[in-house]
């Protein structure tokens, strides 16, 4: 259940940043989107083992 809640939060957060990036119409929003993805991508599937951990 925790994974589902985390996944929902992640999708909601990324969707908000995508909306803002599209509304900005410049590279500032796209940079913010890249930072979000870089920082949160490891949470996308938290139950899956990271390939880096091998």
pLDDT tens for the chain, 54 residues long, are 777 787 788 888 888 877 877 776 767 777 877 787 777 777 665 565 555 554
Asked if 13 and 36 touch (Cβ cutoff 8 Å), the reply is yes
Supply the pLDDT for residue 24.
Answer: 66
The C-alpha atoms of residue 48 and residue 13 are separated, in whole angstroms, by: 20
Label residue 26 left, alpha or beta by phi (over 0 means left) and psi (-120 to 50 means alpha). Answer: beta
Supply the pLDDT for residue 54.
Answer: 47
Supply the pLDDT for residue 48.
Answer: 58
Asked if 45 and 33 touch (Cβ cutoff 8 Å), the reply is no
CA–chain centroid gap for 47, Å, is 16
DSSP 26: S
Give the predicted TM-score (pTM) of the model.
Answer: 0.51
């Amino acid at each position: 259940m925790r994974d589902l809640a985390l996944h929902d939060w992640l999708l909601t957060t990324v969707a908000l940043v995508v909306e803002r990036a599209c509304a900005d119409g410049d590279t500032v929003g796209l940079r913010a989107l890249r930072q979000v993805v870089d920082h949160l991508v490891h949470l996308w599937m938290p139950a899956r083992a990271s390939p880096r951990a091998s």
